[in-house]
Amino acid sequence: MNAKKVIIDCDPGIDDALALMLALSSPELDVLGITIVSGNVSADKGVNNALKILKWMNRTDIPVYLGERLPLVREYVNAEDTHGEDGLGESGYESPDDLSYHTDAVSFLSQSLLNAASSGDFISIIALGPMTNIARLIQTCPESLCGLSELVSMGGNYKSHGNCSPVAEYNYWCDPHAARLVYEAFETNPLLSGKPIHMVGLDVTRKIVLTPNLLEYICQISPEVGEHIRRITRFYFDFHWKQEQVIGCVINDPLAIAYFIDRSLCHGFLTYTTVETEGLCMGQTIVDAFDFWKKKKNSIVLTHTDAFRFMCFFIGRICHKDSSQMEPVLRQIMEVRP
Ligand code: RIB
Ligand code: CA
């Protein structure tokens, strides 16, 4: 099986960390690099966190690139209230001063895509944070998009309520101008014709809740993996209880990785999407499901997922176990009938 070439653009971030653990435990992916954007925490902290994650995954061979520190237009607002000041749940991992990183993520993205275009071995981007780097790529080197295979974006929301305003999801709210520019490019740029953005939004990710019992199960079957997850999610659990009276934590980003690998995990519909950039509803995802505007369909908005199948996939991969062996216990934990 030929692994799919991907670049993961992220803002680690607790759920970004879980997504990277999943990606690096999946043989279907050839992770060419990790590009960092300001989001949950500043890009500088995000680079540090990506290096910490690569260290505990023993994958310091994967290059990390510092990307955009500020949104295109609006002021930068972090999510340290959710992810902790360090961005990994105040988990106290040592700063990886022995590891280096690259600067200029956007140049890495454009050069990688241009090389892919000439070799014909196209690359996909899985965006797990605000889309500032992707927007800058489109602004500075639109011709590189001919080397893009697919863009999967964790972000946005269709019918689900927002998570940082009544109507807006954080990644698209943090940099709404970038999100709008990217969706517009997928509407107008002929190099992207027939390649809609796969929007893995809150409508599906809200179904993916890491509960204390699921965490305990991970710790039992894979203590080392479980310890990392317990360490970085404690803060996140507390936030979810205070914010939404949820016991556990919604892990958004790993679903985007899992969906990229196994498309049967989610389904949705082809439509036109854009993002509001101003005013009260700034960051709101506008999905023209009834085709009022007769615009080119630039996105696949995912609306349904199977949380049980995702958890079997996710836990099986990160714990390097046969997920079919886990089903009976996971059915009991998640109260899912056979
Ligand atoms: O709204 C959830 C998204 O915003 C996730 O990607 C989380 O990591 C933050 O980036
Ligand atoms: Ca993220």
Distance 243 CA to ligand 1 centre (A): 15
Task: Tell which one of 8, 10, 11 to mutate to probe ligand 1, the residue whose CB is within 8 A of the most ligand atoms.
Answer: 11
Q: What does the pLDDT read at residue 286?
A: 98
In this predicted structure, the answer to whether residue 31 has a pLDDT above a threshold of 80 is: yes
pLDDT band at 292 (very low <50, low <70, confident <90, very high): very high
Q: What is the CA radius of gyration of the chain?
A: 19
Residue in 136, 141, 170 with CA at minimum distance from that of residue 153: 170
Q: In this predicted model, what pLDDT tens digit does every residue of 241-291 receive, in sequence order?
A: 998 898 999 999 999 999 999 999 999 999 999 999 999 999 999 999 999
Q: What does the pLDDT read at residue 332?
A: 94
pLDDT band at 336 (very low <50, low <70, confident <90, very high): confident
Q: In this predicted model, what pLDDT tens digit does every residue of 156-199 receive, in sequence order?
A: 999 999 999 999 999 999 999 999 999 999 999 999 999 999 99
Distance 163 CA to ligand 2 centre (A): 13
Tell me the backbone φ, ψ of residue 142, rounded to 5 degrees. -60, -30
Q: What angle do CA 174, 72, 114 make, to 5 degrees?
A: 110
Ligand nearest to the CA of 82: 1
CATH number of 4-209+246-311: 3.90.245.10
| H or E element that contains 48 | helix 43-56
Q: Which residues line ligand 1 (CB under 6 A)?
A: 11, 13, 15-16, 39-40, 128-129, 154, 163, 169-171, 252-253
Ligand 1 atom having least distance to the Cα of 164: 1
Q: What angle do CA 19, 157, 75 make, to 5 degrees?
A: 80
Q: What does the pLDDT read at residue 50?
A: 98
Distance 338 CA to ligand 2 centre (A): 33
Pairing of strands 285-287, 273-275: antiparallel
Distance 201 CA to ligand 2 centre (A): 12
Mean pLDDT of the region 197-220: 98
Determine contact, residues 69/39, Cβ cutoff 8 Å: no
Task: Tell which one of 36, 38, 153, 171 to mutate to probe ligand 1, the residue whose CB is within 8 A of the most ligand atoms.
Answer: 171
Question: Which distant-in-sequence residues (6+ apart) come within 8 Å of 154 by Cβ?
Answer: 19, 126, 127, 128, 171, 200, 201, 205, 252, 253, 255, 256
Residue in the block written with tokens 């934590």: 249
Question: Which distant-in-sequence residues (6+ apart) come within 8 Å of 28 by Cβ?
Answer: 1, 3, 4, 261
Protein residue whose Cα sits closest to atom 1 of ligand 1: 170
Pairing of strands 299-305, 266-271: antiparallel
Q: In this predicted model, what pLDDT tens digit does every residue of 34-61 receive, in sequence order?
A: 999 999 999 999 999 999 999 999 999 9
Q: What does the pLDDT read at residue 68?
A: 98
Distance separating alpha carbons of residues 290 and 100, to the nearest angstrom: 49
